[in-house]
């Protein structure tokens, strides 16, 4: 760790809710403050909500036959990634963010980073695949079933998870090499600081933005076509508002959670970033895994119907798998 980075960590711990640092001996002392306890409770509740929300999505799609569609298979993959974020990354990040792990970089920290990179990147790649599916469903409905089938969806899911694992492996190897490197570390810095955000975020987000903008413009064109046909301004305005609202929710939530962190990650090359800022933005990205069930599932009425049946435990009282989810 260079002097600037070390100083950044020390400064961060001067404001750490669960630790105090002795500036003379550079040692950390555990403190059980009210803020620290509240943070554990809040982050624990976020983990529970993330797990429960994504479990509802996964169970709904697996149990109800009406939800056995290509689009929902992609949502299952997204749900599994976000579920594992709630089960694995949330607890590890709680130990990481609220412990001395930020100062003492041990094996535990590297394990946490690996799971974080794999699952978060998989979640982003799944969102990218869902945008491709939505493009064909909305803009090319006549060829949708031929383009998006079980084989294609299987390849999408496999690639999302495989590429995420490769990105994580490259990130960890570069991190280990940089620790051993003393002078010429340029290539390791590039692999660790530049390539991961490019492949994990910037490239997928460009694809997602491009696809959703295409969907939006085509939806507007279709709305104007309907207006010319049936002369119903109210219908057209309603369709445009619905399309705009859907895209605003999807893109707004995604960019709100992910863009600040990756901008901060990229700015690390220009200088040190304080610990509290970096960890807060990292938690914001994990928050997206809690939002995804609401955005991609709660938005549709058939998922809401499925959730009500599951929560009311009717699936344990009768066979509801063939219910018409209206």
Do 134 and 211 form a contact (C-beta atoms < 8 A)?
yes
Report all structural domains of the chain as residue ranges with CATH numbers, in order of start. Answer: 48-303 (1.20.1070.10)
State mean pLDDT over 227-237.
54
Whole-number Å distance between alpha carbons of 147 and 155: 12
- Alpha carbon of residue 53 to chain centroid: 14
Instruction: Look up tokens 């006549």; give the residue.
Output: 142
Sign of the dihedral defined by the CA atoms of residues 297, 300, 306, 312, in that order: positive
pLDDT value of position 172: 73
Token code pair at residue 162? 């495989």
CB atoms within 10 A of CB 308: 11
CB atoms within 10 A of CB 100: 18
- Is a pLDDT exceeding 70 seen at residue 216? yes
Q: In terms of pLDDT, which residue wins out, 195 or 77?
A: 77
For 276, the 3-state DSSP assignment is helix
pLDDT value of position 242: 57
Residues in Cβ contact with 132 at an 8 Å cutoff, skipping those fewer than 6 apart: 156, 211
pLDDT digits (tens, 9 = 90+) for 264-303: 877 766 665 666 677 778 788 888 888 888 887 667 788 8
Full-model pTM: 0.81
pLDDT value of position 11: 43
pLDDT value of position 115: 85
Whole-number Å distance between alpha carbons of 215 and 131: 9
Whole-number Å distance between alpha carbons of 85 and 48: 11
Token code pair at residue 274? 């304080």
What percentage of the chain reaches a pLDDT higher than 90? 15
Do 57 and 65 form a contact (C-beta atoms < 8 A)?
no
Token code pair at residue 209? 């933005």
Alpha helices in the chain (DSSP H): 3-13, 34-63, 70-84, 90-97, 107-139, 144-147, 150-180, 186-189, 195-197, 203-230, 233-267, 275-293, 301-311
The number of CA neighbours under 13 Å toward the Cβ of 132 is 19
- Is a pLDDT exceeding 80 seen at residue 201? yes
pLDDT digits (tens, 9 = 90+) for 156-175: 999 999 999 988 887 777 66
The neighbouring-strand residues paired with 21 are: 28
What percentage of the chain reaches a pLDDT higher than 70? 67
């Amino acid at each position: 760790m260079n002097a600037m980075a070390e100083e950044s960590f020390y400064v961060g711990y001067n404001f750490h809710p669960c630790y105090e640092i002795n500036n003379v001996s550079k040692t950390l002392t555990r403190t059980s403050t009210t803020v620290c306890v509240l943070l554990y409770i809040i982050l624990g509740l976020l983990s529970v909500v993330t797990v429960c929300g994504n479990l509802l999505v996964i169970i709904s799609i697996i149990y109800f036959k009406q939800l056995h569609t290509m689009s929902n298979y992609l949502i299952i993959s997204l749900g599994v990634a976000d579920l594992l974020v709630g089960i694995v990354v949330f607890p590890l990040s709680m130990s990481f963010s609220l412990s001395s792990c930020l100062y003492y970089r041990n094996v535990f920290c590297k394990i946490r980073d690996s799971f974080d990179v794999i699952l978060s990147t998989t979640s982003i790649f799944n969102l990218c695949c869902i945008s491709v599916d939505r493009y064909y469903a909305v803009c090319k409905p006549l060829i949708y079933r031929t383009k998006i089938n079980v084989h294609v969806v299987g390849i999408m899911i496999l690639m999302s998870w495989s590429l995420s694992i490769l990105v994580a492996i490259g990130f960890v190897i570069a991190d280990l090499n940089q620790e051993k490197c003393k002078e010429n570390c340029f290539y390791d810095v590039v692999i660790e600081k530049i390539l991961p955000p490019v492949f994990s975020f910037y490239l997928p987000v460009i694809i997602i933005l491009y696809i959703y903008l295409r969907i939006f413009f085509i939806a507007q064109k279709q709305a104007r076509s309907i207006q010319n046909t049936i002369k119903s301004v109210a219908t057209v305005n309603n369709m445009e508002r619905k399309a705009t609202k859907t895209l605003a929710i999807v893109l707004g939530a995604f960019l709100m959670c992910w863009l600040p962190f990756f901008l901060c990650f990229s700015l690390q090359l220009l200088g040190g970033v304080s610990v509290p800022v970096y960890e807060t933005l990292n938690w914001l990205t994990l928050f997206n895994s809690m939002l995804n069930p609401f955005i991609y599932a709660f938005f549709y009425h058939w998922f809401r119907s499925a959730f009500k049946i599951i929560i009311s435990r009717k699936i344990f009282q009768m066979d509801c798998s063939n219910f018409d989810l209206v």
